Amino acid sequence: MGTLAGPAFARLRHFLGLNEEDYQATLGPGGPYLQFLSTSKSKASFFLSHDQRFFLKTQRQQEVQVLLAHLPRYVQHLRRYPHSLLARLLGVHSLWVARGKKKYFIIMQSIFYPVGRISERYDIKACEVSRWVEPVAEGSPFILVLKDLNFEGKTINLGPQRNWFLRQMELDTAFLRDLNVLDYSLLVAFQLLHEDEKDAYTVYSTMRSVHGAPNLRLTESQNRRLLLDVPNALHILDGPDQRYFLGLVDLTTVYGLRKRLEQLWKMMRYPGQSFSTVSPARYARRLCAAHAPGLRCSIFHPAVAAAAAPPPTRGRFQALWPGPLDMELRAAHREPPARLSLPVCSGDSSLRTAEGTDSMKAQGRLLLLVLCTLTFSAVYILLCCWACLPLCLAACQDRPLPVAPRPTVPGPLHFSGYSSVPDGKPLIRELCHSCAVVSSSGQMLGSGLGAQIDGAECVLRMNQAPTVGFEEDVGQRSTLRVISHTSVPLLLRNYSHYFQQAQDTLYVVWGQGRHMDRMLGGRTYRTLLQLTRMYPGLQVYTFTERMMAYCDQIFQEETGKNR
């Protein structure tokens, strides 16, 4: 398993007040990982640590690169706003899986921890396309994270902490907008408060969030709040009757060319509906309740908003928490505002102007994107036609096509297919005209052919085929020993026999690229380097990539199997 940006994440874990031994013990072999049943379309796999405190998610290589590129600014944002709603990323790792593929995964603190009394979980993107999940039957052991359309008819009542939440949402979404990131989600979970927990706003200070007793000005500038004396307090807020688990996750999707084309497709596919693929600025405005600071009037007072809201219907998204988000969502869905005989608030005209300007800019960018796409397609077609022109002419004139000479892989007797460890020089040696090949299967025992084998011009031995004690049957000379990367550890068990006493033997080691990779320091290659340092006269060679490809091809032709 590999670790990416290990020192940086170690410092981040220390800043978050996470004990390193506790962290490693939780992720270690102390218990099985729990696979998380996800409704995500990203084809990622999700796991929880055995105590459900940490969340593991597989990521594509491109997403990992984005995460690492944004890591310094992410850490800076958490230092500036210690009570941020962003999920706390704790590490990025890679793992080799079947067929030599590399999988990347991230580790972060679970938003939904502790899980004991959580009744409902939601993944909110403030849109409606593909945002419905069929709930599981009552009493089912499976736990699903529902989506926006499942949330209809519900609100988040944070009481006195509402203003803090809206402000922090504004800060966090502005940060993600500046990173050109979209498609992130607000995770929401509900837990009913017991009577003895209501209004029990117990204050506590921890080094991971407050770092002592800050002055009032520092607290306001960093938008800090009073934390509850509970685990995972950074993602927990208490309302009058409910405890809410809140956090922003999936922070690696960049608004690049692919997403712009996806936006164009969805605009044609879902006219008049809201979807997640929009510009980062619009995405942030739509998800953030504090998108229009000047928009404050009685129509959005919690009591009035609750009374004025139309009955929920599937396909329409209502406000998550009473506030100005309701108008933004209605504008995004092209729905009329609630039918109320109340005066229009003072911020309405400025909001419409801003929306109109943004709409014109979006249409202009979309038109430019379409033109660029058409131009690229035309150039691509012309290049394809130009490349196929010789084929067409040859077919018309009925003459053979000019075929460029193809590079051929050296034959098995050409020593240019072998590379010395560590200098990479090719093997220079006279060819063998006759040889004896001795395997390690034990079939030569009792044969009495040792003298005949030693009389051959070259003696090739495979893997850990022994000689000491079996000279009468297998001989004692070894011109060349061919070793699989899986057999190297077996030879190291008796390295003095295989390496110290046979300085005139050539050792040729073959294996998969990741084990033999010189640039990345594969595991087997590092072992061979140590052997050459222990025995300076040792002659060790590895297969080049071309020789390995040649051998794989021969193996498949002879056996019909793909090694």
pLDDT at 194 over 70: yes
Residues 417, 280: Cα–Cα separation, whole Å: 52
- Give residue 336's pLDDT band: very low, low, confident or very high (50, 70, 90): very low
Alpha-helical segments (H) within 28-144: 61-80
pLDDT for the residue numbered 190? 95
- pLDDT 10s digits, 58-70: 999 999 999 999 9
- pLDDT 10s digits, 437-483: 888 777 778 888 888 888 888 888 888 788 788 888 888 888 888 88
Which percentage of the chain shows pLDDT scores above 90? 25
Q: For 63-184, where are the E strands, in sequence order?
A: 89-96, 102-109, 120-124
Give this prediction's pTM.
0.55
User: Which of 210-214, 345-349, 422-426, 507-511 is the most confident on average?
Assistant: 507-511
Scanning the structure block, which residue is given the tokens 């992130």?
184
- Give residue 498's pLDDT band: very low, low, confident or very high (50, 70, 90): confident
CA 34 to chain centre: 18
pLDDT for the residue numbered 36? 62
Instruction: Count Cβ neighbours within 10 Å for each residue of 50-63 and write b for 16 or more, e otherwise.
Output: eebbbbbbbbeeeb
Q: Domains along the chain?
A: 2-211+222-346 (3.30.800.10), 415-559 (3.90.1480.20)
Q: What is the mean pLDDT of residues 169-190?
A: 95
Residue 284 contacts residue 177 (beta carbons within 8 Å): yes
pLDDT at 134 over 60: yes
pLDDT for the residue numbered 206? 37
pLDDT for the residue numbered 207? 35
Q: What is the mean pLDDT of residues 270-285?
A: 92
- Give residue 368's pLDDT band: very low, low, confident or very high (50, 70, 90): confident
pLDDT for the residue numbered 477? 85
**Stronger pLDDT, 41 or 489, i.e. the higher one:** 489
Closest CA to 247 of 416, 99, 110, 358: 110
